[in-house]
Amino acid sequence: QVELVESGGGSVQAGGSLRLSCVASPTSYKGYNCMAWFRQAPGKEREGVARIRIRDGTTEYADSVKGRFRISRDHGKKAATLLLNSLQPEDSAMYYCAAATVLECLASFAPTYYNIWGQGTQVTVST
């Protein structure tokens, strides 16, 4: 259970964009089958945002971000990147990177799958 290292959060105006990065160690990355991004706003439940199967790059997105966010993986950087476009105030949250080692990880955002976590990076969208 190795924490991942997130970066790229910040404050932007509505309609703006951010790029979040989640970097794993080479040894840890080798054991992952999926990586994902979650978010949690104060007083709200944690929400799965996007997930990607490392082997073939297959992705799944929450309905709330489809068409606006894109997740990708970079084998050289041992990283998962989340591109956030057309940001709105309701996107404001702490964004967490997570990883899964089980083969079934693309099926859902289940915590039984995604049990390796980073410490988070804050995204704040103003009007």
CB-based burial label for 98 (10 Å; 0-12, 13-18, 19+): buried
pLDDT value, residue 3: 72
Q: Is residue 51 classed as helix, strand or coil in its secondary structure?
A: strand
Residues in the chain: 127
| Stretch 104-124: mean pLDDT | 96
CA of 82: how far to CAs of 43, 44, 79, 100, 112, in Å? 23, 21, 10, 17, 22
Q: Are 53 and 106 a contacting pair, CB within 8 Å?
A: yes
What tens digit of pLDDT does each residue of 7-44 get? 999 999 999 999 999 999 989 999 999 999 999 999 99
What tens digit of pLDDT does each residue of 57-104 get? 999 999 999 999 999 999 999 999 999 999 999 999 999 999 999 999
